[in-house]
Amino acid sequence: DTEVTQTPKHLVMGMTNKKSLKCEQHMGHRAMYWYKQKAKKPPELMFVYSYEKLSINESVPSRFSPECPNSSLLNLHLHALQPEDSALYLCASSQGLSTGRMNQPQHFGDGTRLSIL
């Protein structure tokens, strides 16, 4: 079983809907990540949170809004998505962001398969 839990596993939504993806980890990790992965492609980094503060935003459109309510939880709020946003959304966590922690692996969840109608 993965130590990073993502819900829901599947989500189908219309372009006008508002929904949220949730991610939870209880490994005491202080860095959390959102990735987007299209079929047959590697994951693309979207956001990174460090100690509950947004550290990296990879120029993601504003229709994706991340939130880190506490050190264990990471949300991704979705609004007015486009069909090209259909993808697997992966959450990951790691011990932290620092030169001394670059060697720590990221642990991934199972992902949410998102389909936009």
Partner 1 sequence: AQKVTQAQTEISVVEKEDVTLDCVYETRDTTYYLFWYKQPPSGELVFLIRRNSFDEQNEISGRYSWNFQKSTSSFNFTITASQVVDSAVYFCALSANAGGTSYGKLTFGQGTILTVHP
The answer to whether 67 touches 74, Cβ cutoff 8 Å, is yes
In the list 21, 33, 74, 76, the residue contacting partner 1 (rule: CB under 8 A) is 33
Q: Is 13 in the site for partner 1 (CB under 8 A)?
A: no
Check binding of 108 to partner 1 (CB under 8 A): yes
What are the backbone angles phi and psi of residue 110, rounded to the nearest 5°? Answer: -75, -20
Type of residue at 33:
Y
**Per the structure block, which two tokens stand in for 58?**
């990879």
Which tokens is 53 given?
A: 């503060």
Longest dimension (CA), the chain: 44
| Contact flag: residue 7 with partner 1 (CB under 8 A) | no
Of 21, 78, 92, 114, the residue at the interface with partner 1 (CB under 8 A) is 92
Distance between CA atoms of 66 and 77, rounded to whole angstroms? 6
Segment near partner 1 (CB under 8 A), from 21-29, 42-50, 63-71, 73-81?
A: 42-50
Could you list the residues that contact partner 1 (CB under 8 A)? 2, 31, 33, 40-43, 45, 48, 50, 55-56, 88, 90, 92, 94, 97-99, 102-103, 105-111, 113
